Amino acid sequence: MATAQNEPRYNDRIRAREVRLIGADGVQLGIKSLPDALELARQVDLDLVEVAPLADPPVCRIMDYGKFRYEESQKAKESRKKTTQVTIKEVKFRPKIGKGDFDTKVRHMHDFLEDGHKVKVTLQFRGREMAHPELGSKILDAVLEQLGEAVKVETQARLEGRNMTMVLAPEKKTAKKPEKSANKSAAPGVGAQVASESGESHAENEDK
């Protein structure tokens, strides 16, 4: 955002006695006294903007100052987007994940992707869960189903020790953010099925 210190001077804020004037159409109009330059700008209902204050004499241009500021703001915004560092955010799941936790994590992933970041999805297996890697695949499939067109798979799911990982990258056009559903689970039956197939109680503390 521009500050008063780095904004260009315009109209009565210009201090020079004489200026090198450029018309609204870009034509050089030569050196003019400040009052004459201001009058020419007023005649076409525009502003006189100092575009090169360090020149001798300073260079001023006749233009719409409000439009000029808006365009400069848009350029700065685009420049910031291009220089934003892309990072990889990691989101961890357990096979025995409840619907509420699943929905929350998927929404966080959508936010990361929408901001241009990549997301590493990690399925953490413990104990007898290692005998059921297909259950981790079901979780990852459910994640992809919820994110829909918002993502592309950059690194396919693979098992690394006790973890199954997959890396997602944002598509140029992201889908609508996943919403909570009171009637339909984001990952239908996944948590309950994993709990029963792994032989472990659903009430077990997932952080142990």
User: CA 87, CA 112: separation in Å to the nearest integer?
Assistant: 9
pLDDT the model gives residue 4: 53
Domain limits, the chain: 11-82, 88-198
Superfamily in which the 88-198 domain is placed by CATH: Translation initiation factor 3 (IF-3), C-terminal domain (3.30.110.10)
Tell me the whole-structure pTM to 2 decimals. Answer: 0.46
Say if CB 91 and CB 111 are below 8 A apart.
no
What gap in Å lies between CA 56 and CA 35, rounded to an integer?
17
- Residue 80 in tokens: 């910031």
pLDDT value, residue 178: 55
Interatomic CA distance for residues 16 and 53, integer angstroms: 9
* CATH number for region 11-82: 3.10.20.80
Same topology between domain 11-82 and domain 88-198: no
For residue 3, give both structure tokens: 């500050």
* Token representation of residue 172: 């140029």
Q: Which residues of the chain have pLDDT under 70?
A: 1-5, 81-85, 172-208
Q: Please give the Cα distance from 204 to 42 (Å, whole number).
A: 77
Tell me what pLDDT residue 18 has: 97
